A and B are shown apart, each in its own frame.
Chain A
Amino acid sequence: MFATLLAMTLGVTSDEELVRRFGSGDRSAFSELVRRYQSRVYSLCFRWLRDPAKAEEVAQDVFIALYKSLADFRGESKLSTWIFRVATNHCKNRLVYGNRRREDRHESIDAPVGGDEDGPVKQYAIDAPGPDASINRAEASKLLQAALDALDEDQREIVLLRDVDDLSYEEIAELLQLPKGTVKSRLHRARAELARRLSRKVGLEDVV
């Protein structure tokens, strides 16, 4: 309710209003939701799956699930919580069941060319920087991915939701069905571990 009032005050259509409009047959409301969440959903999928083609496929799966369920969405939780819960579960499912590509999907035009799809992020393949070169953004992304991969799944999950998808502690607690205190302590351990790994790889001040 507060979110709706705030959105109205700021002249921004709330998620709840978009859901209502979609239920009335306004498909542009769904397009607005996609625009609103696509970056965060794709980021989450990419950081879980480490492959742009898989990330796009799973991100689209999430939005298709949203499309199918939106008319029945009862608002018992925030829409954003629902979206990221579905996205996280889809990513975990994809990891559990391996990397078999769905045969009825089109190939992503952004699929990595050659190489092992299960390997590190290929789209950022660059020459290793020289000893005096500061790392660029692409390399920083690779380093971050390697540090995230080294976390255990629970820690990775929570740091992605907080620091990549910008969910609040309360939203994370609801999404993961955890007490807020557990969110706080688990997030801290995840960040502390990330800090330890990143400080070994690069001086953070060296990132251009």
Chain B
Amino acid sequence: MTDPRAPENLSALLDGELDPDEVEAVERALREDPALRAELHALQEAMEFTREHGPVEPPAGFAERLNARIDAELAPPSLWERLRDAFRQLPWEGLALAAAGALVLFFVQSAPKQTPATTGGDDAGVDAVAQGRPELGVEGAPALAPAAAPSPPPTALAQGPEAGTAVATPDAVAQARPRSNPSLRLPDPAPSDAASESGQDGLASAELSAAAPADPTRGSLGAGGQKGLDAAMSYRLRASDKRVLSQLSELARLNGGQLIDASTGEAMDLRAFDSATQAQVVMRVRADRVTAATTALRRLGELDYLARRDDLLYGSGAVDVAIDVQLSEGSTR
């Protein structure tokens, strides 16, 4: 202790935060200095006044209302709710088209045998639901336009039946099957441990054109990529729609934040990533909107949860959510 008369020692004395030698020194100073005693008395009165009148009891029923919120917000979905959500997520347009294609094949196979026509064409026209846009799933977000109804493959309808063709060959069915909309995907389970997530080697998939990060458990925004951005959570998002970056930007905006280019630390310039297949971004959102934002992330594509830092999770004002966005072109599922 530098000076027993130092004012902060008076508070520490009242709080019992001085060691015995320091207490003796301060008490000696108090005996010798009436002004110091008066100051101590004023501090003690203010401290006791605050301790007496500062605490406020919560309203009656606080714990009951808290439990009700927990049950409502955090209870696992019922079997009915899970079935309902799965039902909504099914690519109905694609299933309808597949059923129509199967029906056509059935009738084609059932018809009398004719001269095979020239096959050809591709399944480029079969893109049942790729035009759909996912809901962002946050309060106030506009419901986006549903996917356009697919047009049936012209080759499948125009051709006559083929002699000797097996019913519903895999190739034929594949031609009729639309590209699934990765945004219409069953919701991921709750974020799992980073260690278990890193075991899923989705990066080896041929549909991903980007190289795998060296250490997925650290998240894709390594020390070299960040410009002073310390992300509280880290995800890897795989999507086949390039508009996912603008969707992320909108998602961030709706949640009181913005999308940041992780390499520059600046606000995201979406035009710079128009033709890129990979982007490292940080979605900065209001701290109280993190849950809603990360829930909506799952609707934008296939989401891997990589890492979380609890000591940053409730930082002041906003939370940084790092996202390694990997765009795949022409992928089919």
Residues of A whose CB lies within 8 Å of any CB of B are 31, 34-35, 38-40, 42-43, 46-47, 52, 55-56, 59-61, 63-65, 67-69, 72, 85-86, 89-90, 92-94, 96-97, 102-104, 106, 108-110, 137, 140-141, 144, 159-160, 162-164, 168-169, 184-185, 187-189, 191-192, 194-195, 198-199, 204, 207
Contact = CB atoms under 8 A, between A and B. Distances in A.
Given A61-B288, A69-B310, A198-B46, A39 B66 contact: no
19 contacts: A31-B67, A34-B63, A38-B62, A40-B55, A43-B54, A52-B59, A56-B65, A60-B66, A89-B314, A89-B316, A93-B287, A141-B53, A163-B54, A184-B17, A187-B11, A188-B7, A191-B50, A194-B50, A195-B42
Given A42-B56, A43-B54, A194-B50, A97 B43 contact: no
Contact of B54 (A47, A59, A185, A207): A47
Classify the interface of chain A: helix, strand, loop or mixed. helix
Contacts, number: 150
Shortest beta-carbon contacts, A-B, top 9: A195-B46, A164-B54, A42-B58, A188-B8, A188-B11, A163-B50, A110-B59, A89-B314, A185-B8
Contacts of B66: 34, 60, 63-64
Contacts of B8: 184-185, 187-189
Given A64-B70, A89-B287, A188-B7, A42 B316 contact: no
A64 B290 CA distance: 13
A104 B55 CA distance: 29
Contacts of B61: 109
Contact of A93 (B12, B59, B316): B316
Nearest to B12: A184
B56 A43 contact: yes
Contacts of A96: 316-317
Given A64-B69, A109-B59, A144 B7 contact: no
Interface in B289-317: 310, 313-317
Classify the interface of chain B: helix, strand, loop or mixed. helix
B74 A64 contact: yes
B74 A59 contact: no
Question: Chain B contact residues (Cβ within 8 angstroms of A): what range?
Answer: 35 or more
A11 B7 CA distance: 40
B201 interface: no
Given A64-B70, A191-B43, A42 B57 contact: yes
Interface in B6-62: 7-12, 15, 17, 39, 42-43, 45-47, 49-59, 61-62
A92 B46 contact: no
B160 interface: no
A145 B286 CA distance: 27
B139 interface: yes
Given A64-B73, A207-B49, A31 B63 contact: yes
B132 interface: no
Contacts of A207: 49, 52-53
